[in-house]
Structure 1
Amino acid sequence: MATVTFAIKHGLKVGEDTLSEVLLREPTAGDIIEAQEESEKLVLVPSKDGPQPQFVTSPTLVGVNVLRRQIVRIGNVQGPIDLVMLKRLHPEDMGLLNRKADELEAAMLAEITPKTAGQEAAERGRDDGVGDAPGTAHPETRK
């Protein structure tokens, strides 16, 4: 499982200490499921038969609840970090946590999303000589 360690600028005040070193890991399916469950709220929705109960999930809360589960630790405080503690962070530190989580997710998706042969060839550049004039060598092999 991929992890990243970094420092937040303003830190998390715990007692007399200000903790700034964060260890963040990529999310698991369990993190996502638990975050979605935790972010559900039962509300009454109007209908022709009168108000009906319905579960509504807040996308913002899902994101926050996944993020707090991804935090392995901040300083010596072990994760998952509770919502009350997460709310105490400076907005700049929260932004950095979100950026680092996005980077981990992008790296994870890049690992599991296979590239097509065409994508791989485009990344390497054409090395098969196609497009060269007949009888000429590939530009990289010319002497």
Structure 2
Amino acid sequence: MANLTFSLHYGLKIGEDVLKEVVLREMTAGDILDAKEDAEKMVLAPEGPVLVTSPTRFGTELLRRQIVKIGNLSGPIALSELKRLHPADLNMIQAKADEIDIALGLELERLSKGIDGGR
């Protein structure tokens, strides 16, 4: 799947502009690795310091990397900008990213079974 373009209902206000057009892309291996690293934090456990990964933070970090742009604002989108979105718009972006991720998963499954559609 190539990029997916759609419009937000409320948009992201930057100055006087309200940015509504979103472009998403498939995640890459680099996105996954970088998001996992950014979602880690050191905590003290009884056995000493350990790294833990927040699943919520991992998903957020991955999502912001999949955003190519919102309006004229190029991605990856900063966490502070994601936080300023209306919840309905954030849910829409997540749902569209999920569509891309599902399509990618189906393609990977097809390829693993040797069915590549002539590629």
If the length of structure 1 is used for normalisation, what is the TM-score?
A: 0.75
Q: Give, in angstroms, the shift of residue 2 of structure 1.
A: 2.0
Q: Deviations over 1:15-54 (max 9, x none)?
A: 000000000001001001000000111000124xxxx100
Q: Name the structure, 1 or 2, with higher relative contact order (CA <8 Å, separation 6+).
A: 2
Tell me the amino acid that sits aligned with residue 32 of structure 2.
I
Q: Deviations over 1:98-125 (max 9, x none)?
A: 1000000111111121287xxxxxxxxx
Q: Which moved more, 1:100-109 or 1:1-10?
A: 1-10
Q: Give, in angstroms, the shift of residue 10 of structure 1.
A: 0.6
Is 1:28 equivalent to 2:28 in the alignment? yes
Q: Which of 93, 96, 99 is the aligned partner of 1:97?
A: 93
- SS of 1:36's partner is helix
Tell me the amino acid that sits aligned with residue 109 of structure 2.
T
Tell me the amino acid that sits aligned with residue 74 of structure 1.
I
Aligned partner of 1:134 in structure 2 is none
Tell me the amino acid that sits aligned with residue 2 of structure 2.
A
Q: Report the Cα distance in structure 2 between the residues aligned to 1:35 and 1:13, rounded to whole angstroms.
A: 25
Aligned partner of 1:55 in structure 2 is 51
If the length of structure 2 is used for normalisation, what is the TM-score?
A: 0.90
Is 1:37 equivalent to 2:15 in the alignment? no
Could you tell me which runs of 5 or more consecutive residues in structure 2 were left unpaired when the two chains were aligned: 114-119
Q: Pick the structure with more helix per residue.
A: 2
Q: Larger C-alpha radius of gyration, 1 or 2?
A: 1
- SS of 1:2's partner is coil
Aligned partner of 2:79 in structure 1 is 83
Q: Give, in angstroms, the shift of residue 6 of structure 1.
A: 0.2
Percent sequence identity is 54
Q: Report the Cα distance in structure 2 between the residues aligned to 1:54 and 1:98, rounded to whole angstroms.
A: 30
Is 1:109 equivalent to 2:86 in the alignment? no
Q: Deviations over 1:63-105 (max 9, x none)?
A: 0000000000000000000101110001000000110000001
Could you tell me which runs of 5 or more consecutive residues in structure 1 were left unpaired when the two chains were aligned: 117-143
Instruction: Give every structure 1 segment of 4 or more consecutive aligned residues whose post-TM-superposition deviation is greater than 6 Å.
Output: none
Q: Report the Cα distance in structure 2 between the residues aligned to 1:45 and 1:112, rounded to whole angstroms.
A: 38
